[in-house]
């Protein structure tokens, strides 16, 4: 397998959505407003941090990130994915950290430790750029089974062996990540009722709060508009020489 930059393989860039992101994230995630506004600029403004893992001609994983200024304190930590992404794309201050935007692994390749390899690529790229750390607003994958549990309680759950209850957080911790804080309002997704019904294959006949497949928190439907506020967990990876 080989790690390549998307800027060097524009053919992969044309394939990435269909082969990776469309199959690893729920469709509504792609309708995030800051993401739609800035995503294409990742490849032009920060190409060195947008990587793909290939096996021959097969696209098996990818990792996206953005450098941003962060003082290293909890007070200066972005509120979540949205605020961090916007800060990285708009701040005039010199960057000091690398923020993970997304990791995707092809479904057929999951369970092969490729996600760990992509996290390590963040650390390698941050080190090469002279950045002190990697911060990741982790989307806890098993939280979808517990959408009514506040993220502040969920993040405390551990297995009998002391490892984290959530498999994605567990992977981050296994390779040295440290939980920093919860981001209860990391990403806000707002769309008309019809879009949510198409994305979730559910009906929302009246205003109310709904549990839906894959959602980490309830969907709030009011006046034909659905709002889903997704929680994440901030994890720190320290970069050493």
The alpha carbon of 196 is separated from its chain's Cα centroid by a whole number of angstroms, namely 21
Rounded Cα gap, residues 96 and 72, in angstroms: 9
Rounded Cα gap, residues 115 and 107, in angstroms: 12
3-state secondary structure 74-99: CCCCCCCHHHHHHHHHHCCCCCCEEE
Residue pair 30/191 in contact (Cβ under 8 Å)? The answer is no
Blockwise average pLDDT, block size 10, the chain, 241 residues:
91 86 84 90 96 91 97 97 97 97 90 91 95 97 97 98 97 97 97 96 97 96 97 95 60
The dihedral built from the CA positions of residue 82, 19, 103 and 143, taken in this order, carries a sign that is positive
Q: Please state the φ and ψ torsions of residue 2, each to the nearest 5 degrees.
A: -135, 135
The pLDDT score that the predictor gives to residue 241 is 60
Q: Are strands 225-238 and 133-138 parallel, antiparallel or unpaired?
A: antiparallel
Other beta carbons within 10 angstroms of residue 176's beta carbon come to 14
Q: Please state the φ and ψ torsions of residue 73, each to the nearest 5 degrees.
A: -105, 160
Q: Which domains does the chain have, with CATH numbers?
A: 2-187+231-238 (3.40.630.30)
pTM of model > 0.75: yes
């Amino acid at each position: 397998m080989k790690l390549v930059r998307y800027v060097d393989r524009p053919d992969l860039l044309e394939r990435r959505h269909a082969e990776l992101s469309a199959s690893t994230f729920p469709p509504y995630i792609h309708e995030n407003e800051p993401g739609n506004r800035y995503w294409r600029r990742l490849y032009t403004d920060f190409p060195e941090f947008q990587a793909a893992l290939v096996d021959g001609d097969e696209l098996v994983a990818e990792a996206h990130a953005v450098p941003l200024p962060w003082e290293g304190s909890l007070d200066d930590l972005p509120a979540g994915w949205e605020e961090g992404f916007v800060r990285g794309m708009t701040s005039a201050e010199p960057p000091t950290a690398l923020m993970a935007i997304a990791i995707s692994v092809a479904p057929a390749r999951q369970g092969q430790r490729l996600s760990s390899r992509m996290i390590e690529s963040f650390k390698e790229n941050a080190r090469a750029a002279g950045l002190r750390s990697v911060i990741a607003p982790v989307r806890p994958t098993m939280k979808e089974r517990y959408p009514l549990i506040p993220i502040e309680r969920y993040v405390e759950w551990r297995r009998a062996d002391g490892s984290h209850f959530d498999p994605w957080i567990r992977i981050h911790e296994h390779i040295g990540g440290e939980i920093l804080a919860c981001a209860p309002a990391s990403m806000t997704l707002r769309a008309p009722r019809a879009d949510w019904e198409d994305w979730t294959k559910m009906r929302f006949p009246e205003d109310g709060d709904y549990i839906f497949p894959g959602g980490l928190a309830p969907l709030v439907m009011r006046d034909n508009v659905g709002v889903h506020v997704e929680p994440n967990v901030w994890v720190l990876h320290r970069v050493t020489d």
